[in-house]
Amino acid sequence: MKKIEAIIKPFKLDEVKTALGEVGLQGITVTEAKGFGRQKGHSETYRGAEYVVDFLPKMKVEVICDDALVDRAVEAIMNAARTGRIGDGKIFVSTVDEAIRIRTDEKGVAAL
């Protein structure tokens, strides 16, 4: 099993969710996040005063899936989240040793 973590722009969340559903993934976890990468935030003017917005709003999407679906899931996220502009985000893939469904004690892929 693999864990896919994607940091994406907030307005791309619905497209990513739909794309993952088309791949066959049923469960995702979404967290509101703030951060910055190379872009280092941006400057804004409010009531005549300029200030720097260091942390930009992002969404963190987490999916656990069978190894066989990883490539399709990553490709779906990339295609759905891409705008072609700076700040589109990142995708991280890591190994999951075990998954357990609390209600039924199912383990492994059956717990997903």
| Residue that is written with structure tokens 């907030």 in the block | 10
pLDDT in tens, the chain (112 residues): 999 999 999 999 999 999 999 999 989 999 999 887 776 666 666 677 766 767 889 999 999 999 999 999 999 999 999 999 888 999 999 999 999 999 999 999 999 8
Spell out the domain ranges in the chain: 2-111
Torsion of CA 29, 35, 38, 43, to 10 degrees: 140
- Per-residue pLDDT of 38-68, as tens digits, reads 766 666 666 777 667 678 899 999 999 999 9
Write down the pTM of the prediction: 0.85
CATH number of 2-111: 3.30.70.120
Question: Could you give phi then psi for residue 110, rounded to 5 degrees?
Answer: -65, -25
Quote the DSSP letter at residue 58. E
